[in-house]
Amino acid sequence: MSELLDTFLNWDYIAQVLPDLLRTGLANTLVLAGFSAVFGTVLGLGLAVLGLSRHRWLRWPARVYTDVFRGLPAIVTILLVGQGLAIVARPLVGTDPYPLGILALSLIAAAYIGEIFRAGIQSVDKGQSEAARALGMTHTATMARVVVPQGVRRVLPALVNQFISLIKDSSLVYFLGLLASQRELFRIGQDLASNTGNLSPLVAAGLVYLVITVPLTHLVNSIDRRLREGKPVPGGDSLDELEPARA
């Protein structure tokens, strides 16, 4: 029993790896996930709009992109992008794999976020669009000002869940061979675990992941509950979940 505890909970190794985890690993993990979430959200929203287009030549490319990047394992996409585009991107990023890791994660995230947005947009009652068109708004204006904002509001919990997935998937970028200053949480824990033959550094990395993801998971539940129950009105019942929140 003592040997088992020492394998997973050696406090000397945990204390040794913790500064690097917090100073370098945490920062790089959040940078990888944050930039990928931003780029993936922008591209995903575009994919959702194209996927709902009335024109096949716009709708089909979006569907093919989504099917491909959702069907491939994340590690395959990361290796194909990170290694396959390295020669082409060398004039822009040199030999640094960090930007290509962000690009790969962004492409993966866009496929999932696009489907999230598409489901949210399609959940908006058609009467909203018909009312906007009756007021003289164009199709583009109706989508931008009426349908999309309501759809985005409904999928906020799913978007936060996708960000949690990006935080965990960022650990796969280490396959591209990051520099010491670019290592994320998993790579730092894995390096010391390999050097010492002890798994405690990996346990420490896992705990840092949990410190990030568990509060975000509860945030998702809170947002979802708020959207379902509606905004409380003083002296009355909560608003219906489909009614837009009032200022």
pLDDT averages per 10-residue partition of the chain, 247 residues? 83 93 94 95 92 85 94 93 80 77 94 92 81 79 80 84 93 86 91 92 95 90 75 47 41
On whether the CB atoms of residues 223 and 160 are closer than 8 A, the answer is yes
Residue 94: predicted pLDDT = 66
Residue 151 is inside which H or E element, if any?
Answer: helix 148-154
Q: What's the CA gap between 97 and 198, in Å, rounded?
A: 28
**CATH number of the domain located at residue range(s) 2-229 in this protein:** 1.10.3720.10
Instruction: Write the Ramachandran bin of 227: left for phi over 0, alpha for psi from -120 to 50, otherwise beta.
Output: alpha
Query: What pLDDT does residue 232 have?
Result: 52
For the chain, give every domain's residue range: 2-229
**Model-level pTM?**
0.82
Residue corresponding to tokens 């009335």: 54
Rounded Cα–Cα distance for residues 148 and 20 (Å)? 42
Supply the pLDDT for residue 169.
93
